[in-house]
């Protein structure tokens, strides 16, 4: 199935009132599709990803992943769901400085109690899929910004997620490296049939998207491909 946000509203305390970060937002992302989300700074893009990732509970509305309404689950069940079904790529590749590329990935499986040998094999496969096989034993300081972002993306795929949520992955990269990262995300989305939401400020990335959604003041507007 896929990822569905239905009528999601999210507010934050703001002095005596509340600031509306997401205003009755609905979004459907089928598996194997790349949905691009664009919009000015402060429009609600990261908030949308945080709600979809179950990191923030909305004031109202629901998030459904593979037919399960995840907004109603306990915090513990949401954490399990995140580990098993959701891949998150934050803007900054927050890799652990002391670990090699392969170990960054293995940690994800070990947190979930899986066997080390299996995790290692899968980590090396994924590093190969993102073009980083030759660098599997390098630590973050030995990698370029683009290479770190590739490791970051591979790590998000470690648990074979249904949903892949990616926040401005190219903001620290030049045009050419940024385009290569978007190509990679597009290919992985189709190959691994993830329901992918890509937040980007770069309009040249939109050509790769199956649907494009624009956010303004917490409201969504379909630009292309959505009925």
Quote the CA–CA distance of 33 and 3 in Å, as a whole number: 10
Burial of 176 (0-12, 13-18, 19+ CB in 10 A): exposed
Q: Does 45 help bind ligand ADP (rule: CB under 6 A)? A: yes
21 near ligand ADP (CB under 6 A):
yes
Question: Of 2, 35, 46, 100, which one interacts with ligand ADP (CB under 6 A)?
Answer: 46
Interaction between residue 39 and ligand ADP (CB under 6 A): yes
Closest contact distance (angstroms) between CB of 45 and ligand ADP is: 3
Selected range binding ligand ADP among 38-46, 62-70, 101-109, 189-197, rule: CB under 6 A: 38-46
Looking only at residues 136 through 195 of this chain, which bind ligand ADP when binding is defined by CB under 6 A?
A: none
Interstrand relation of 195-199 and 163-167 (parallel, antiparallel or unpaired): parallel
C-alpha dist (Å) from residue 189 to 29, 32, 130: 12, 5, 12
Part in contact with ligand ADP (CB under 6 A); list of ranges 44-52, 70-78, 88-96, 117-125: 44-52
d(CA 61, CA 148): 35
Q: How far apart are CA 154 and CA 131, in angstroms?
A: 10
C-alpha 184/C-alpha 176 separation (Å) is 13
Query: What is the number of other CB atoms lying within 10 angstroms of the CB of residue 75?
Result: 8
Closest contact distance (angstroms) between CB of 168 and Mg ion is 6
Query: Of Mg ion, ligand ADP, none, which one does residue 200 interact with (CB within 5 to 8 Å by kind)?
Result: none
Which residue, 12 or 111, has its beta carbon nearer to ligand ADP?
12
Give the SS3 label for residue 61. strand
Stretch binding ligand ADP (CB under 6 A), from 41-49, 94-102, 129-137, 205-213: 41-49
* For ligand ADP, the closer CB: 12 or 204: 12
By the rule CB under 6 A, 79 interacts with ligand ADP: no
Q: Which does 21 bind (CB under 5 to 8 A by kind): ligand ADP, Mg ion, none?
A: ligand ADP
Residue by residue, DSSP assigns 99-126 as: S-HHHHHHHHHHHTT--HHHHHHHHHHH
């Amino acid at each position: 199935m896929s990822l569905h946000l239905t009528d999601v509203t999210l507010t934050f305390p703001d002095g005596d009132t509340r600031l509306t970060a997401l205003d009755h937002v609905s979004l459907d992302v089928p598996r194997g599709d790349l949905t691009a989300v664009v919009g000015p700074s402060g429009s609600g893009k990261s908030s949308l990803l945080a709600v979809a990732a179950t990191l923030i509970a909305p004031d109202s509305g629901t998030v459904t992943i593979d037919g399960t309404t995840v907004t109603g689950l306990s915090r513990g069940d949401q954490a399990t769901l995140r580990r098993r079904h959701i891949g998150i790529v934050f803007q900054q590749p927050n890799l652990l400085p002391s670990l090699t590329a392969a170990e960054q990935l293995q940690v994800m499986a070990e947190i979930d109690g899986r066997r080390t040998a299996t995790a290692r094999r899968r980590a090396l496969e994924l590093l190969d899929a993102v073009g980083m096989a030759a660098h599997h034993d390098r630590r973050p300081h030995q990698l370029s910004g683009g290479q770190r972002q590739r490791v970051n993306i591979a790590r998000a795929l470690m648990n074979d997620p249904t949903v892949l949520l990616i926040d401005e992955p190219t903001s620290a990269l030049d045009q050419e490296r940024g385009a290569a990262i978007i190509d990679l995300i597009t290919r992985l989305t189709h190959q691994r049939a993830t329901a992918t939401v890509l937040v980007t400020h770069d309009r040249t990335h939109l050509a790769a998207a199956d649907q494009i959604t624009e956010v303004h003041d917490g409201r969504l507007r379909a630009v292309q491909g959505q009925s």
